Amino acid sequence: MLVTGGAGFIGANFVHYTIRNHPEYEVRVLDALTYAGDQTTLRPVADRTEFVHGDICDASVVDQLVAEADLVVHFAAESHVDNSLHDPEPFIRSNIIGTYTLLEAVRRHSGRFHHISTDEVFGDLPLDATDKFDEGTPYDPSSPYSASKASSDMLVRAWARSFGVAATLSNCANNYGSYQHVEKFIPRQITNLLVGERPKLYGAGENVREWTHVDDHNAAVHLILSKGRIGETYLIGSGDERSNKEILELILELMGQAPDSYDHVADRPGHDLRYSNDTTKIRTELGWQPKYGDFRAGLAATIDWYRQNEWWWKPQKEATEAKYRVLGR
């Protein structure tokens, strides 16, 4: 199994999950170690994985690795919306050209391909509604990040239909858990409190996300690998929707801080209001069910992880906040 982006948050958790639960796989990781990649995350499984430092846009590296793999699970991407608003170019390159490069290699070598994507490709939903995205929702991305992910999804669908590439796709809601980069909402606020900074809420904090534990996401990916229908897309999400303000207040409560001890900062331009996935298809067809039903408990465990693993996140913290200062957030 070739795992692209296996030194990032979800990819590394996927490698850990695979080694724990699916010893039948030999795992090789391809990762460019961008600012978001950290090889130390793979240290606990280093004796069971092979690591290749390389770029998914590098056709010769990709061709050889794909030729040697039975299946490719493609996580590698530029993943942060705020960065895409500041400089879209790496998103176009890694997310679109990188996916194209992988697809061409998979086409040449007739491998199995699973593409990891996001609910953000569908745009957003109104705050006061109860409707959800499903596998047939038209694409309507808002940010350079989501537009680049939407493009990559469309390439995968086209390569499946026109060239018979044995591909599946999944679009998951927001993930949380250990080893998430401190630029993202939940780890940013936890680590701000741990270093004595005030948390930062964009705008009024009314935007809603559907928080899904990273292991539930990765369990769903494994089900798709073993039982998913080729050419199909599956939406993944816990069903647990919360506003950013609600999440931040829960973090403050769990960390023993006053509920108003945070700053409102400038809103994200084009900020998507609400995401929500209808997961009927993966639940009924593949029998997937999230195990982390208790978000409060999952968040408390995540806070503990950041408390105990300062060695992992501290080196990234100052540079991340310096980037935010440039954005005024």
Contact (CB, 8 A) for 237 and 279: yes
Q: Of the two residues 187 and 228, which places its CB atom closer to ligand TDX in the complex? A: 187
Helices of type H across 95-243: 98-109, 144-163, 185-194, 214-227
HSE (side-chain half, CA atoms, 13 Å) at 119: 28
Joined together, the tokens standing for residue 278 give: 């209808």
Active-site annotation holder among 31, 120, 183, 215: 120
Q: How many whole angstroms from its chain centre is CA 66? A: 22
> Coil, helix or strand for 300?
helix
Rounded to a whole number of angstroms, the minimum distance from the CB of residue 24 to ligand TDX is 29
Q: Which does 144 bind (CB under 5 to 8 A by kind): ligand NAD, ligand TDX, none?
A: none
Helices of type H across 195-294: 214-227, 244-254, 280-286
Q: Which does 25 bind (CB under 5 to 8 A by kind): ligand NAD, ligand TDX, none?
A: none
DSSP state of 270: T
By DSSP bridging, strand 212-213 and strand 71-74 are unpaired
Q: Which does 201 bind (CB under 5 to 8 A by kind): ligand NAD, ligand TDX, none?
A: ligand TDX
Q: Which does 97 bind (CB under 5 to 8 A by kind): ligand NAD, ligand TDX, none?
A: none
Rounded to a whole number of angstroms, the minimum distance from the CB of residue 207 to ligand TDX is 4
Q: Which does 16 bind (CB under 5 to 8 A by kind): ligand TDX, ligand NAD, none?
A: none
DSSP secondary structure of 23-70: TT--EEEEE---TT--GGGGGGGGGGEEEEE--TT-HHHHHHHHHT-S
In what helix (H) or strand (E) does residue 2 lie, and over which residues does it extend? strand 2-4
- CA of 205: how far to CAs of 24, 49, 92, 177, 200, in Å? 44, 41, 29, 21, 10
For this structure, is 119 an active site residue?
yes
223 is a site residue for ligand NAD (CB under 6 A)? no
Q: Which does 202 bind (CB under 5 to 8 A by kind): ligand TDX, ligand NAD, none?
A: ligand TDX
Rounded to a whole number of angstroms, the minimum distance from the CB of residue 130 to ligand TDX is 19
Rounded to a whole number of angstroms, the minimum distance from the CB of residue 317 to ligand TDX is 13
Whose CA is closest to 245, among 213, 276, 203, 273? 203
Contact (CB, 8 A) for 219 and 17: yes
Active-site annotation holder among 17, 25, 100, 145: 145
> In the window 116-155, what residues touch ligand TDX (CB under 6 A)?
118, 120
Q: Of the two residues 114 and 209, which places its CB atom closer to ligand TDX in the complex? A: 209
Q: Please give the size of the binding site for ligand NAD, defined by CB under 6 A.
A: 30
x/- mask, ligand NAD, residues 160-179, rule CB under 6 A, reads: ------------x-xx----
Q: Of the two residues 174 and 191, which places its CB atom closer to ligand NAD in the complex? A: 174
Which residues of the chain form contacts with ligand NAD (CB under 6 A)? 4-5, 7-11, 31-34, 36-37, 55-57, 75-79, 94, 98, 116, 118, 149, 172, 174-175, 181
Active site residues: 119-120, 145
